[in-house]
Structure 1
Amino acid sequence: MCAEPGHYKPLDAPVGPEPVAMVPVVQLYARDVPGLAFPAGTDLLQILWCPLVHEDDQYAANPRLLWRSTELTAAGTAAGEPPRPHTVEEDYLPRPCTVSPTAAVEYPNGDLPEELADLLDERFDDLKEKQGYCYFEVATTQQSKVGGYPGWTQPPDWPHCAGCGTRMEHLLSVTATEPGMGRWLPLDDRDPRQGISAAPSWQAEADPAALDTFGHDMCLGDLGGMYFFVCRACPGTPYTHRYDC
């Protein structure tokens, strides 16, 4: 539950003093993401957030990241429906959906060093002229992801751990470009019978009406995202997040 006194829904009446139930956003099992290192004794990663605006939290939803054990979680499961928020900002309320883990090799976009980008500029132009695709379209992954690089829509803002001072590791992103923009569509979701092209994933095209049925259906600003970072050197695997829009 989120009991922050200042959370609100824009252009709406005050939320009131009662807590608001958080909503589940991401749930990943270790068995489904073999490349993701889980802290000892855990095999379940969950992200929840309060689906209201928090001015002291980058004017966005207020998230919580939890590493858990499926065995302990199952043992403590309560009967009945989970609590639901009595009011929400619709942009932060995910539509129920499943994940389709798909491996993708990517390269930095906003994090590409300026000197290197200048050196490669001519090659990028040549790629665009000959293939019809720019570097951004074929080398970066803008969808929600585990690992890789944050799909910054504003200048990169990497956090440093408050405990040890080192730059934190990008753990995962929940982005608004899901699934119809950027480089690829999850392989499990590409069904020609639903208007999804069988072309290579970074060339995938689809009927907009078909794409509307996929993904979390959230609007995180202007194609922005919520980026989560962890420090694996400090006890407890501390985390933080960044939001841009």
Structure 2
Amino acid sequence: MVPVVQLYARDVPGLVFPDDTDLLQILWCPLVHEDGRYAANPRLRWRNAALTAAGATAGEPPRPHTADEDFVPRPCTVSPTPAVEYPNWDLPEALGELLDRKFEALKEEMGYDYFDVATTRQSKVGGYPGWTQPPDWPDCAGCGTRMEHLLSVTATEPGMGRWLPLDDRASDQDETATPCWMAEADPAALDAFGHDMALGDLGGMYFFVCRGCPETPYTHRYDC
């Protein structure tokens, strides 16, 4: 198993942790599993940071002796940035048809398509899954209700556009004259973006939880 995500409650105030936990970890086996998903096999763990630190060992985690490099992350850090999202693939069809004229007017006036900017496809906590394929929301095996999107680990890190972090924008661009959806990244920063995993063909691993059942059960979906 390789470590993929580690989030502390203090760094993500909008994320609700189960009682007596303040650390979220995601690990996965970085082999392509022939289980219908043909991707890494993940595990999600809620932990107590103090208890985890007390039993931890120093040093870098060992690399697996065999792995699909598409699912082995390079070490990196996250800088959580709040953002407002709107449904993309998850927009109800009838509502999409009702708003179609407004979407066309938006594109003509502003130069971008609603469906290009409504939902970020970057790795994130909360919001809407940045589906590559049609939505596949899971129902809880225990109570049957639709599960909540907890977080996504995706291969897509933008080189330009609305979701490009301010710190990664090219320094020679005039921020007042360049619309946010046309901003371009600093070329020197492009190779250092994120975890550097392709996840198959620029895929995504989406994690879901049920808050209503004991033990906060989880499941995941993968698409590319």
Normalising by the residue count of structure 1, what TM-score does the alignment of the two structures yield?
0.84
CA contact (8 A) 2:138 2:208 kept: yes
Counterpart Cα distance in 1 of 2:189 and 2:96: 36
1:157 aligns with 2:136: yes
CA contact (8 A) 1:137 1:182 kept: no
Residue in structure 2 matched with residue 11 of structure 1 by the alignment: none
* RMSD (CA atoms): 2.0
Cα deviation 1:180-237 (Å, max 9, x = unaligned): 36641234x43645x7885665543114452121111111233320000000111111
- What is the letter of the counterpart of residue 190 of structure 1? D
Residue in structure 1 matched with residue 184 of structure 2 by the alignment: 205
Worse-superposed segment, 124-133 or 162-171: 124-133
* Structure 2 SS opposite 1:221: helix
* Structure 2 SS opposite 1:218: coil
Counterpart Cα distance in 2 of 1:196 and 1:98: 26
Counterpart Cα distance in 1 of 2:56 and 2:73: 22
Residue in structure 1 matched with residue 40 of structure 2 by the alignment: 61
Residue in structure 1 matched with residue 83 of structure 2 by the alignment: 104
1:190 aligns with 2:168: yes
1:69 Cα deviation after fit: 0.8
Worse-superposed segment, 42-51 or 130-139: 130-139
CA contact (8 A) 2:169 2:183 kept: no
Cα deviation 1:2-52 (Å, max 9, x = unaligned): xxxxxxxxxxxxxxxxxxxx1111111101110000000110101111111
Counterpart of 2:19 (choices 25, 29, 40) is 40
236 and 98 in structure 1: CA distance in 2 versus 1, 3 angstrom threshold: same
Counterpart Cα distance in 2 of 1:52 and 1:234: 30
Counterpart Cα distance in 1 of 2:54 and 2:76: 25
Counterpart Cα distance in 1 of 2:203 and 2:174: 26
- What is the letter of the counterpart of residue 30 of structure 1? A
CA contact (8 A) 2:169 2:186 kept: no
1:241 Cα deviation after fit: 0.1
121 and 221 in structure 1: CA distance in 2 versus 1, 3 angstrom threshold: farther
1:134 aligns with 2:113: yes
Residue in structure 2 matched with residue 70 of structure 1 by the alignment: 49
Normalising by the residue count of structure 2, what TM-score does the alignment of the two structures yield?
0.91
Counterpart Cα distance in 2 of 1:196 and 1:242: 38
Counterpart Cα distance in 2 of 1:61 and 1:111: 25
1:220 aligns with 2:199: yes
Residue in structure 1 matched with residue 71 of structure 2 by the alignment: 92
Counterpart Cα distance in 2 of 1:196 and 1:100: 23
Counterpart of 1:180 (choices 159, 163, 188) is 159
99 and 83 in structure 1: CA distance in 2 versus 1, 3 angstrom threshold: same
1:130 Cα deviation after fit: 1.3
1:229 aligns with 2:213: no
* Structure 2 SS opposite 1:110: coil
CA contact (8 A) 1:197 1:205 kept: no
Counterpart Cα distance in 2 of 1:241 and 1:233: 17
203 and 42 in structure 1: CA distance in 2 versus 1, 3 angstrom threshold: farther
Gap runs ≥5 in structure 2: none
